[in-house]
Structure 1
């Protein structure tokens, strides 16, 4: 009987400390992202990182941020070594759990040289062409454009994609409008290209499929809608000179919530 009591007591104590440990584990949110100014910067600043802090810090959770190349950042979240990654397109090929709502909405654009403008007939112009995009975009973008068959190639940076387009080593480049406009401020070659909208991109948070990740996802989904409609959200976007992105996102949610 004593042994039974000892076992029961041990289970209760173990359960108590396990639950206590889980609560303690959620005192810090481990966030990763790419180096994609002005959205996510290596020093932990940027519009998207500010949004993460605005969601979690009022819940008494501190936010620890690390910036890595895309593939490494995704791998860290898949392994559970990070809790979440900000700024992702949904991709079912990854073992991740995505936020219920996009945290940003942007325009998907096709980019091409001026001498091809007369040949542009909308999305169908991509059919059978060589199309270049940065790493991580090809699979989710293909899902956005299932009706069009084209030859895809990925490169590590937007600078490399623009160089391929400039030297006619690809017919088109596909990107989000926000990222491309940011690249234009640093790359003079991009100014001479034509851009055409071909869709809408929904950009999500990707959470680890761990217990921690799912608890954080629940908190994010619960609080995000109120946040994106708040003055604080507008303040963050305008701080980073992203009024265009704010208006796109606000318009999307206005349509979804009506």
Structure 2
């Protein structure tokens, strides 16, 4: 009887450990999607990679402490297999972590001259966004394409976002520019008439407009402020250079597979037409 009871206890402990190990594996592989992993950029016996990012609709969605999901998560999973761990952290912190070597990959930054002094960028972008002004429906004529016409117009933009070189040159002439913490805040300021224009992009704005039931009240203006291209970024170090090279080679291979076409379709993200 003692031997049988001991065997049952050992078996129970073994099963629990097996379930725990399986749970850990599932968490590490979160985001690979139903298509599995191509693991194109994983060398043998490589140390686990740490990829960080913040809220990018359809690209990298989640919150602190929860496993993120999105196109970028699945993409990295297909390139690196279960050798990459994606983490959601605030945007400013995510950038600093990569710059200081605390993380290996920054997910989704637009490529700008200022950021290129701090990080290495992938050769190709993996998504693009048209940056536009949003207005209350019926006010589309407020944007003529000339920043000079907005010198005394209350406008808002998201702090920490890149809006393109022209915006950077002209923003000092926007006498009533307010920086907000996120898309929700900007759209609410717009609908409450605290500002007349809000700068953002469709990919981030449309889910919020639908959630707040504002899709009929707010619309976008044309022409766009700029079209920006989102990349993966890496530390400016020997290790970062090697990782960026591996990523670029693997991404080129991946783009030629059916997995790439299916992944963009699955997440509803437009695939960049040219290398940028």
TM-score by length of 1: 0.76
Could you tell me which of 250, 253, 268 is aligned with 1:226? 253
In the alignment, which residue of structure 1 is the partner of 2:211?
186
Equivalent of residue 66 in structure 1, options 83, 87, 90: 87
- Greater mean deviation of Cα atoms: 166-175 or 219-228: 219-228
Secondary structure of the residue aligned to 2:244 is: helix
Residue 28 in structure 1 maps to residue 53 in structure 2: no
Structure 1 stretch displaced more, 178-187 or 67-76: 178-187
Mapped to 1, the partners of 2:73 and 2:202 lie a distance apart of 20
Report 1:201-216 matches (<5 A): 201-216=228-243
**Does 1:135 find its partner at 2:156?**
no
Query: Which shifted more, 122-131 or 205-214?
Result: 122-131
SS at structure 2 position matched to 1:237: helix
Which consecutive residues of structure 1, in runs of 5 or more, have no partner in the other structure?
A: 1-22
Corresponding position of 2:174: 150
Q: Please give the alpha-carbon distance, in whole angstroms, between the structure 2 residues aligned to 1:26 and 1:155.
A: 40
Residue 134 of structure 2 corresponds to residue 107 of structure 1: no
Query: How far off is 1:108 after superposition?
Result: 1.5
CA contact (8 A) 1:107 1:178 kept: no
Q: Which digits, 9 at most, give the CA deviation of each residue in 1:151-182, with x for residues without a partner?
A: 44322221111111112222211112211122
What's the TM-score once normalised by structure 2's chain length? Answer: 0.71
Q: Distance in 2 between matches of 1:131 and 1:159?
A: 15
Indicate which of 30, 33, 45 corresponds to 2:69.
Answer: 45
Greater share of helix residues, 1 or 2? 1
Q: CA deviation at 1:232?
A: 0.7
Q: In the alignment, is the contact (CA less than 8 A) between 2:147 and 2:174 conserved in 1?
A: no
Task: Give the superposition deviation at 1:202.
Answer: 0.6
1:126–1:172 CA contact under 8 A, matched in 2:
no
Count of equivalent residues: 222
Over 3 Å counting, the alpha-carbon distance change for 1:96 and 1:36 in structure 2 is same
Aligned pair 1:246/2:270, yes or no? yes
Q: 1:127 to 1:147 in 2, by over 3 A?
A: farther
SS in 1 for 2:61: coil
Provide closer, same or farther for how the CA distance between residues 145 and 157 of structure 1 changes in structure 2, counting only shifts above 3 A: closer
CA positional deviation for 1:145: 3.2
**Gap runs ≥5 in structure 2:** 1-42
The root-mean-square deviation of aligned C-alpha atoms, in Å, is: 2.5
Contact 2:164–2:227 (CA under 8 A) maintained in structure 1:
no
The answer to which of 184-193 and 197-206 deviates more is 184-193
